[in-house]
Amino acid sequence: MWRMPTPTTRPLRRVTLLGLSIYSCVLLAAALPAELVGSRPLAIVKLAAGYALHAVGVTPGLEVFDGKQSLHAIHEMTCFRVVGEGAGRVVLYDDLALCRERQVEAVRDPFRILQMRSLSAAFVDLNLQGQGDLTRAVLQPLFLFSDYYCHTPAAEQAKVERVSIEALYLGLNLQDGTSGEVPMRGSRDCKQPTWAVGR
């Protein structure tokens, strides 16, 4: 049964609600990521909130649901140079100069977007794991793209037996805002489902 609040419970509720609101705002201000704090007034609010919480023994900004590893870098662009080797040597794809000259551009072509996303993920995994088995799920796009380049008309004309891909990954460091690059390369015999890293 619902009861009308008495005059003594109303002020207590208001004080409790005000206290919870202030506490929530202080937690939010103290937990702002450093990347979002651009202006000096906001930085002062963040520091003051952090100090106030520290004074009562609360640490702001702790990850509660950290099911994924936090990002340290943002992918800006990846460029590729694909070369077929066989009876002749033929360049099958090349936009590597864009990344070497740091000409980061908005990619609109659906093929380039698919290639960049798929091969970037595969090369990053190869860089970390060093395993070239193209039957692994994360490396299957590398198998498909290398197979595609093994059988393009230009590749068949040059009787291509091996495809080499050189990649340049550009990323933005979230900690200090610097830009960096990771060169990656490898090759594949068109008849084998394995990737030779660094060849």
pTM: 0.59
Handedness of CA 39, 42, 44, 50 (dihedral sign): negative
Average pLDDT, the chain: 79
**Residue 146 in 3-state DSSP?**
helix
List, for residues 49-92, the tens digit of each pLDDT value. 777 766 666 555 554 444 555 556 677 888 999 999 998 899 99
What does the alpha-carbon distance between residue 8 and residue 6 come to, in Å, rounded to a whole number?
5
Using the predicted structure, report yes or no on whether residue 144 has a pLDDT greater than 60.
Answer: yes
What does the alpha-carbon distance between residue 153 and residue 23 come to, in Å, rounded to a whole number?
66
DSSP state of 70: P
Mean pLDDT value across residues 6-30: 77
